[in-house]
Structure 1
Amino acid sequence: MSLFIFYILSICVKYCTSSAKQFLQNAKCREEIQMYHANVSKNPPKIQYHVQAYHWVTRRTKNGTSRRKVVTYKHDEELKYMSHQDQTENLAVLLKNATCVRLNSKFTWFKGSKLTENNWEMMVQALNMTAQKMDTHHEGWDSSTVQGFVTNQLAFSKNGIPCYLDFPVLLFFYVFGISLFYDTFFYSVTGQCNFNIQKTIYCDAFNGPQIEQFLQQQQNINFNQPNNNNQFNGMNQGNIGMQPSNQNQGFMHPQQNMGYPQQNMGYPQQNMGYPYNNNYNYGQIMPQQNQMGYPNNMMYNQNQFNMGQPNDNIMLPPQQFDGQNDYSNNQMIPVGNQVK
C-alpha cells in the first residue's frame, strides 16, 4: 500500500513540474502570439528590486539534524523613470517557417543614462542595507517584468496542436510511468525559439525618497562605526615612516593639514629662521649666528661634505675677501696660520 501511495505521489510531482505541461497550458495560435508580441512591445516595464532577510533554524531529532530557512522580512520597491524605449525582436520573422514552436520569452532591461544607473544603484544599496539590519542573512534580486509577460508558450499553426501532443496523451504516458518517452518525443517534434523582450529606460531626475533613504543609511553606518586613530599615532611619535606622502592632497582645508607643518615647495624659507639642509632638521630653532652669517662651531659647507670637521681645518665661504687674500677658489687654509 505504501508503495502505491509513493507511486501516485511521484506521478503527481512529475506532472506538476513537467515543462511540456507548461508549454501545453500556454498553447496559442500564431495570431494570438502576434498579439502577445504587440502587447509586450508597447507596455511599459515594471523595474523593481526585491530583498528579503532570513535566518536558519537547526533542529535535532532522533532521525538526524534538519535545517530550515525562516524568512522574517520581505520588501520590493519600484524604480521611477521618465520614459522607455523598446528594442524587442520581431517575432513574425522568428516564427516564419515553424509549425509548432516552443517559445521561450526572456525580459531584459537596460539603463539608458548615467542618471538612471545612479538611481538604480542607490535604490539597491538602500534596500540591501535595510534588509541587512532586519536579520542575520539577507539577499536581493532584480524582479523586473513587463505586463503580459509569459515565460513558456507553445505556438502552433491554424491546424491546431497535433493530437499526439495533446493533454490526454501526456496523462497516459505519465500515469503508466513512461513520462520520459513523452518528454523526449515532445522536444523532438517541436521547434524552439528564444524571444528576447528588451527595454531601455530613462530617468530625468534623482528620486528623492531613494536618495534620502540611502543617505540616512550611510549616516547611521558612519555614526555607529568607532573612529580608528591608530593611523595618526605616527604623527605624534615622530615616526616619519608611518606618515602618508600625500597628506596635502584631496578635498582638505589648508589649515587642516593632518598635523604636518606647512611647507613651501618642500623647503623652508631662509628668512624664517630655519636652516637649509635637506629638511632633516626641519622645524628646529636655528642657533645663534655670528657676524659672518654662519652658526658658531660650524663651517661653510656648501655641499655638506665637510660637516662635522674640526675648526682648525675649515673651508671659508667663496664670497669672503679681506682686502689682501682671495679665497674664492675654496682652498683649505688652517685658521691659526692665516696671514693678514
Structure 2
Amino acid sequence: MLHLPGPACRVVFNKYYVFFEKFIDNYIHHFSPNLLSISGTSTQHSILPDRGLLYLVELPLLILGVYTAFRTKSRAGIFITLFLLVSAIPDSITSDGHYGRFFISLPAWQILISLGLVHLSQLGKAKLLLLPAVSLLYIAEIGSFAFEYTTYFPYRYSMYSHYGYRELVDNIERVAPEYDKIFVSSRANDAKQYIFYLFYTKYDPESFQRGERVEKGIDSLGWVRVERIGSLYFVSTLPPMDKQTSVTDRELLIGAPSEFPKLVYMPTQFVVKDKKGDVLFQAVDKRDYIRCIRVVCEADTTQ
C-alpha cells in the first residue's frame, strides 16, 4: 500500500481538487447525448420526463453546424460555439445539468443546428434524400412531444406544475370568514404558497409592500419568508395537536394528507386533487381534528 507524506496528501487530496474534479464532471455532462437528447436530467420534474433539451434528430445537425462554423472560419459561428461552451460554466458549479440555469444556452443550440441544416441543403444530390429524412424525423419527434405534452404529462406530472393552487385559493377565500386563523403547511410542497395567494386574490401590491397585515421572518438559511398575510399563516409544518388541545379556537389546518393521522374518518372542509385524482391538499377544521383524536384515544384506552 502506497503511503504518501502529509504534504503530498494535502496536495492531491483536498477540497479544492474534489471541487475541481466535480466541476469538470458536471461540465462534461452538460454536453453529453444523454442530457441533450435521451433521458435529460434528474431535476426536470416540471417538464416531460425522459427527454433532453434537444430533439434526437438535432444532435447530428448540431455537430454538422459546429464543423461548418470552423471549416468556413465564420466569426459568428465560432463566437456562438464559444458562447455555448461558456454558458455551461455557471450551472456546472452547482449541478450536472439544470435546464433552468442552463437556459441561457438555448439561442446557441438553435443557431448551430440551423447552420447544420443550411450545410445539409448544399450537399447537391445527397440533399434530395437527407432533407426529406430529416423532415420526417422532425415531424415524428414533434408529434410525439405534442402527444405526450397534451395527454400524459398534464395528468402524471401536474403537481410539479403547481397545479391546484387556483382551486386552493378559491376554497380558502370561500371559508375564510368562518375562521380566525388558517394554517397552510409547506411541509410536503414548499412552493412559496403566499405567491399564489397574492396572484389569485389580486392582492393590492402597495398594501403588501407596505407590510399591512403581513409578517415576514428569516429561516435558518437566511431566506426571507412570508409567514402571515391577514389571517392566513404560511408554516413549514402544521401546529402539533393532541387530545388536550383546546377545541374552542376557530382554526383551519391545510396540508398534505401525509400530515394528518391515518384515522378511520377525518371530516374535511375541502380537498384539492391533481389530475390523477391524488389529493394535494386537505383542509381540516381544528375542532374536528381534536375530536377525532380524542375518540381514537378513548377507544384505545377501553380496549
Q: Establish whether TM, by shorter chain, passes 0.5.
A: no
Query: What TM-score does the superposition give when structure 2 sets the normalisation length?
Result: 0.21
In our comparison, the structure showing a higher alpha carbon Rg is: 1
Query: What TM-score does the superposition give when structure 1 sets the normalisation length?
Result: 0.20
Higher strand share: 1
Higher relative contact order (CA 8 A, sep 6+): 1
